[in-house]
Structure formats: structure tokens, C-alpha cells
Amino acid sequence: MSQYILRRLMIAIPSLLGISVVLFVVLALAPGDPFSELATNPNVPPEVQAALRTKFGLDDPIYLRYLHWLVAMAQGDWGFSFVSRINVDTLILQRLPTTLYVVGSSQLLALLIAIPVGVYAATRPYSLFDQLANTFAFIGFSLPTFFTGILFILVFSVKLDWLPFVYTDLPGSGIKWALEMIRQAIMPVMVLGLFQAASMTRFVRSAMLDVIRLDYVTTARAKGLGQAKVIVKHVMRNAMIPVVTLIALQMPAVFGGAIVTEQIFRIPGIGSLLISSILANDTPVVMAVTFVFACLVVLFNLIADVLYGWLDPRISFR
């Protein structure tokens, strides 16, 4: 087992290197530069812009810049943002808690909706409940988050005036603070959670239906076991294997944030950091965020594979 994990990790190194090369080259070839805002300011002569480019090494050839970046990264130095001149790791750590809170809660909400609804719908296929669940799931994943987000804002903020639509990381503690933090997270969590729940419900339902028809389930029922026990102990455990993979592969997104939703609700998460850095051509930040994201995808793939073995002991690692 440990040998298997070690081998997988070793294989990951060249693929991560490959990913980093591709990312770096694409970013370097992309047009624009982080100081374009200076261009039309008559107070700032163009030489200043040129001097900044030189100072930040933007005029070096691509391979040199990549090597600099790689060597620094290997030593744990993530570089600094061209735009805010702050170390990239500080910038990311500042944003991470918010993303974990908002996107994490929405994933949790999605699971809390998807698993019971999916399981219950699968036990009574084509019943009224199943039909309703299916219809809502379809609607849910057909509506993009930028649409539902704005719809929620119009209804709950503008018309009803119940919830704020600008998310701010408030300082403080105590119950009042906690309630405020929950209140302002309701809309983004609902938007993201319902979207996730929709597709996940359908996934859980079909995974359950695959298993529920198998012979061993009939045997379990024939033994005289109760419906609840059959479903939870015999069907669910096996049906959950693909679901676990799906969830594990979605975990990097919890760290990576949700670009569109974060933008709509002004959530200071990783997603909004990524998009504003891309728009500002802030290469070190974009590089760090995307590279960390790539590492997380590799890592969670591995975790999913290990979890398989735990859920289904017939799967062995070689």
C-alpha cells in the first residue's frame, strides 16, 4: 500500500513539471502587461513603465523566466505579485479561509441534499417524488450560477431586502458576528450548493439504481432484513464508490474557489484572486494558484483511489 502511494507520487512529479511548463508558456505568450494602467496617465512617462518591466524581469526570455520561477518554487519561494508587490503565499493564505468557508459549505449543502434525495428517489423510481426530484435536478444544472446569482440578488436583496449581496470579511467574534457571517454567506452558498446538488442528485440516483437491482440485494431482502438496513448497509455502501470519486475530484474546487460566484457576490476568495490576477496579467499569482490547483487535483485523485480500497476490499493495490 505505502509502496503504491510512493509510486503514484513519483509519477506525479513529471506530470506536474509538464503542467507547470504549459502554464508558464501560455501565460508568457499571452499579450498585455501588468502596468497597462500607467499608459494613459500623463503624469507617468512611458520610461517608468519600461523600467518596471525590466525590474520585474518581464523582458527576459521565457525559458530564463521559467527556470527562475522553478528554482525559486523548489525552495518554497512563490515569488511576489507584480500588482500588489506582496508575496504570493501571503496573498493566497489571506484568501483561502473565505473560499474554504463558502465553497466548502456549498459542497456540504450539496451532499446533504443530493444523498438523501438521490437515495430516496432510487428506492422509488418513477414515483411522483422521483419525477419531481428529476425535474428540479434538470432545472438546477441547466441554470448557470451567474444567472441564479443575479436572480437571487434581485429577489432577496433588491426586492425583499432580506440579505446583503456584498460579502465582506468582517472582523470580530461573538454570536452577532457569527450570525452576520452566516447571513451574508446564505446566497452564495445556496447558488453554488443547489447547482452542485442538482448534478450530484442524478449521479447518486443512478449509482443506487445500478446496485439496487443486483442479486445480493434481493438475497438480503429475502433473508428478511428491513428496508432501511438493506438500503443503508448493503446498497449504499457499494453505490457510494463512484460518488466518492466524484466528491474527491471536486475537492480541489473547494480550494480553488468559484470564479463566477465569487465575482458576483464580491467574495474575497481564491477564484476572485485568480480572475483579477489574470485580468491584470499578474503572472506569479496566476502561476501559483493554477499550479497549486494542479497539485490538488493530482493529490485528490490519489486519495480517491485509496478510498476505493477501503470501500471495496476486493480492489487491491499493486
Partner 1 sequence: MFDNNLRGMIDDVRDGRMDRRAFVKRMVAVGLTAPLANQILAIGGVAMAQSPNPYKPTKRGGGGPLKLLWWQGPTLLNPHFATGTKDQDGSRIFYEPLASWDVDGHLNPILAAEIPSIQNGGLAADAKSVVWKLKPGVKWHDGKPFSADDVVFTYEYASDPATAAVSSATYAGMTVEKVDDLTVRIKFKDPTPFWANAFVGAYGCVIPKHLFAEFKGGKSREAPTNLKPVGTGPYKFIEFKPGDLIRGEINQDYHMANRPYFDTIEMKGGGDAVSAARAVIQTGEYDFAWNIQVEDEVLLRLEKGGKGKTLYAVGGDIEFIAINFTDPNTEVDGERSSMKTKHPILSDPRVRQALALLVDRESIKKVIYGRAGRATANYLNGPEEFVSKNTKWEFSVEKASALLEEAGWKAGSDGIREKDGKKLKLLYQTSINGPRQKTQAIVKQACQKAGIDVELKSVVASVFFSSDVANPDTYAHFYADIEMFQIPMTQPDPALHMRRYHSRNVATKENKWQGPNFPRWVNKDYDAAVDAADTETDPIKRADLYIKCNDLMWQDNVMIPVMHRLAVEACSNTVRPALSGWANQTDNLQDWYRET
Binds partner 1 (CB under 8 A): choice among 14, 76, 171, 172? 171
Tell me the β-bridge partners of 80: 87
Binding string to partner 1 for residues 241 to 280, with x set by CB under 8 A, is what?
Answer: ----------------------xx-x-x---xx--x--xx
Distance, CA of 91 to chain centre: 18
Scan residues 81-110 and list those touching partner 1 (CB under 8 A).
81, 83-86, 91, 94-95
Binds partner 1 (CB under 8 A): choice among 61, 161, 223, 313? 161
What is the H or E stretch that residue 301 is in? helix 283-311
Distance from C-alpha of 151 to C-alpha of 128, rounded to nearest angstrom: 28
Burial class (CB in 10 A: 0-12, 13-18, 19+), 254: buried
| Nearer residue to partner 1 within complex by CB, 34 or 118 | 34
Phi, psi of 80, deg, nearest 5: -125, 155
Is 40 a binding residue for partner 1 by CB under 8 A? The answer is yes
Binds partner 1 (CB under 8 A): choice among 10, 158, 222, 228? 158
Percentages helix, strand, coil for the chain (3-state, rounded to 5) are: 75, 0, 25
Is 227 a binding residue for partner 1 by CB under 8 A? The answer is no
Is 145 a binding residue for partner 1 by CB under 8 A? The answer is no
Which residues, 6+ apart, have CB-to-CB distance to 241 below 8 Å?
207, 308, 311, 312
Q: By rule CB under 8 A, what count of residues binds partner 1?
A: 53
Is 61 a binding residue for partner 1 by CB under 8 A? The answer is no
Is 185 a binding residue for partner 1 by CB under 8 A? The answer is no
Phi, psi of 254, deg, nearest 5: -65, -35
Binds partner 1 (CB under 8 A): choice among 38, 181, 225, 241? 38
Q: Which residue has the cell 456549498?
A: 106
| Nearer residue to partner 1 within complex by CB, 103 or 153 | 153
Alpha-helix runs per DSSP H in 75-169: 88-123, 128-142, 145-152
Binds partner 1 (CB under 8 A): choice among 127, 131, 135, 168? 168
Binds partner 1 (CB under 8 A): choice among 11, 17, 22, 45? 45
| Nearer residue to partner 1 within complex by CB, 15 or 36 | 36
Are 205 and 116 spatial neighbours (Cβ–Cβ below 8 Å)? no
Binds partner 1 (CB under 8 A): choice among 281, 284, 293, 300? 281
Distance, CA of 150 to chain centre: 21
Are 308 and 241 spatial neighbours (Cβ–Cβ below 8 Å)? yes
Is 42 a binding residue for partner 1 by CB under 8 A? The answer is yes
Are 23 and 287 spatial neighbours (Cβ–Cβ below 8 Å)? yes
Binds partner 1 (CB under 8 A): choice among 102, 153, 194, 286? 153
* C-alpha closest to that of 277 among 78, 47, 74: 78
Binds partner 1 (CB under 8 A): choice among 2, 14, 31, 314? 31
What is the H or E stretch that residue 240 is in? helix 237-256
Is 36 a binding residue for partner 1 by CB under 8 A? The answer is yes
Is 80 a binding residue for partner 1 by CB under 8 A? The answer is yes
For partner 1, the binding residues (CB under 8 A) are 31-53, 55, 80-81, 83-86, 91, 94-95, 153, 157-158, 161, 164-166, 168-169, 171, 263-264, 266, 268, 272-273, 276, 279-281
